[in-house]
Amino acid sequence: MLNPVIIFGAGKLGQLALDVFTSNQLIVYGFLDDNTPLHNTEIGEVPVLGSTEDDGFLKLIGKKCDAFVAVENSKERKFLLEMLKERRHVAAVNAFHKDASISQYAEIGHGNLVGAGSRLSAFCKIGSSCIIYPNAVIETGVSIGDDVRIGAGACIGAAVEIGNGAFIGAGVTIPEGIKIGKNASVGAGSVPLTDVAAGSKVFGFPAQAIK
């Protein structure tokens, strides 16, 4: 990827994406964000150009620029990813920090962010639109679906399966072979010793269901 990047979302996630791209000496053309007070301001000397549906800037994507979606809200992020496919016929690019370690045998989709110090081991499978925060460890043979968040410093053991839309908090340890269901949430610092059902929320050591 050599084209300049337009980042959708100028919040904390967008700022993290900016750090990831600049770590690889890639040019970030600007941010698009629907928070109008941010328009015509700068973040790290990179301008917030306008809204996420501004045709004047969208027309650059796929021709002169690539795109990365760094919007916090999952529904908004999915909407923007679909818009890029329908209106610009492109998929969001990946953002891998230069200090991340990614095995040549890892299988990775598109639109993912991998933060500094994270390690993706051999034969792990990462879907699309996932956020892997700094210093997370993804061991051999892990399978992660789409739109999954892995918190900073989390350790995902070998052959773990994580379903679409799941949230894994900072510092979580998931032992080998555990399955985390679709849209499940594992609270920060937790250690689930058994499978976590789809849509459930667990917390603690050992992790227990919470309402």
pTM, two decimal places: 0.94
Q: How confident is the model at residue 2 (pLDDT cuts 50, 70, 90)?
A: confident
Q: What is the pLDDT of residues 166-200, one digit of tens each?
A: 999 999 999 999 999 999 999 999 999 999 999 99
Q: How confident is the model at residue 211 (pLDDT cuts 50, 70, 90)?
A: confident
Which residue type is seen at 175?
A: P
The predicted model gives 95-107 an average pLDDT of 98
Residue 166: the pLDDT is 98
Which of 64-68, 71-75, 116-120, 125-129 is predicted least confidently?
A: 71-75
SS3 of the chain: the string is: CCCCEEEECCCHHHHHHHHHHHHCCCCEEEEECCCHHHCCCEECCEEEEECCCCHHHHCCECCCEEEEECCCCHHHHHHHHHHHHHHHCCCCCCEECCCCEECCCCEECCCCEECCCCEECCCCEECCCCEECCCCEECCCCEECCCCEECCCCEECCCCEECCCCEECCCCEECCCCEECCCCEECCCCCCCCCECCCCEEEECCEEEEC
Give me the chain's average pLDDT, please. Answer: 96
Residue 185: the pLDDT is 98
Q: In the chain, what are the domains?
A: 5-93 (3.40.50.20), 95-201 (2.160.10.10)
Q: What is the pLDDT of residues 102-141, one digit of tens each?
A: 999 999 999 999 999 999 999 999 999 999 999 999 999 9
Q: How confident is the model at residue 51 (pLDDT cuts 50, 70, 90)?
A: very high
